[in-house]
Structure 1
Amino acid sequence: MAHIEIILSYRKRAVDDIKAAEEMFASRFYLAAISRAYYAAFYAVTAALLAKDVKVQKHKQLGIEFRRHFIKTGTLSKKYSEILEELFQARQNADYDAIPEITETRVRELIEEAKDFVQAVSSL
């Protein structure tokens, strides 16, 4: 697959995962919705980094490279780094805590933040 096709595929996955998060939220699968919201952001960043020929293998490295290439350069506001970190922590809690503490309202907020994030990162 050509480089541009891979980037476009990740961008599509980001959009698809936002839709999946909204559908899961509507069906009251809140923990799954959090996971999809995070992965939407993850795929958007993956595409943006690949466009700069930067490949990462781990979630933590993705955040580091995102900040290096887009936040520290002033390309994006620091709020997007904070959103990515929030989504990552929420996904960790949703996936790994025995009894995750999350409200319906907070899940809705996370999905909205993920939508904003994907839109901003995909416009780069």
Structure 2
Amino acid sequence: MSQIQSFIEKARRYLRSAELLIQDGDYDSAVSRSYYAMFYLAQAALLKKKMTFTSHKAVISAFGRYFVKTEIFEKRLGRDLNIIFDERQLGDYESNFSISQDNACHTFERAQGFVNRVAEWLKSDLSDD
């Protein structure tokens, strides 16, 4: 299995985990898993272009530069990645902040859309490796 395929599989597992965490009422963790699913697919897309980055901010910035600004992906995907990164930061690191059920569900839906769209592009383009 290629590294890109591994990222796709991991993202799908993280989405399943996020869904279970929502059902369990652990909304902060659900947003974290949703974000990481998106992050892994952003990394996979960049890897497809032979690029790797070490920080989350660098991955997010490069995804915007090489995929959103070039219109390979829709602007909303870039916005969602940025917004959900910020939500994950708050949920993971701010002790007095907690994510609501509605927010966690909405985040999960946006993450699903991101993962499905990027995975579809990656799979259709895997033959170019």
**TM > 0.5 fold call:** yes
Structure 1 unaligned residues grouped into runs of 5+:
none
Tell me the secondary structure at the aligned position of residue 103 of structure 2: helix
Q: Measure the CA separation in 2 of the matches of 1:101 and 1:95.
A: 9
Q: Measure the CA separation in 1 of the matches of 2:4 and 2:74.
A: 22
Flag as ranges the 4+ runs of structure 1 deviating above 6 A. Answer: none
Correspondence 1:61 to 2:58? yes
Q: Which amino acid aligns with 2:105?
A: R
Say which of 15, 30, 35 aligns to 1:18. Answer: 15
Q: In structure 1, what is the equivalent of residue 68 of structure 2?
A: 71
Q: Measure the CA separation in 2 of the matches of 1:64 and 1:106.
A: 24
Kindly report which structure 2 residues correspond to 1:33-112, keeping only aligned pairs within 5 A, or say none.
33-112=30-109
Q: Which amino acid aligns with 1:57?
A: T
Deviation per residue, 1:39-87 (Å, 9 max, x gap): 0000011111111101011000001110111111111111111100111
Tell me the secondary structure at the aligned position of residue 2 of structure 2: helix
| Number of residue pairs the alignment of both structures matches | 121
TM-score, with normalisation over the residues of structure 2? Answer: 0.90
Conserved? CA contact 2:31–2:84, under 8 Å: yes
Q: Name the CA shift for 1:13/1:42 in 2 (closer, same or farther; >3 Å).
A: same
Conserved? CA contact 2:28–2:98, under 8 Å: no
Superposition RMSD in Å: 1.0
Structure 2 unaligned residues grouped into runs of 5+:
122-129
Give 1:123 shift.
Answer: 1.5
Q: Measure the CA separation in 2 of the matches of 1:89 and 1:66.
A: 16
Tell me the secondary structure at the aligned position of residue 53 of structure 1: coil
Give 1:105 shift.
Answer: 0.6
Instruction: Calculate percent identity across the aligned residue pairs.
Output: 32
Deviation per residue, 1:8-67 (Å, 9 max, x gap): 101111111000000011011111101100000000111111111010110000011101
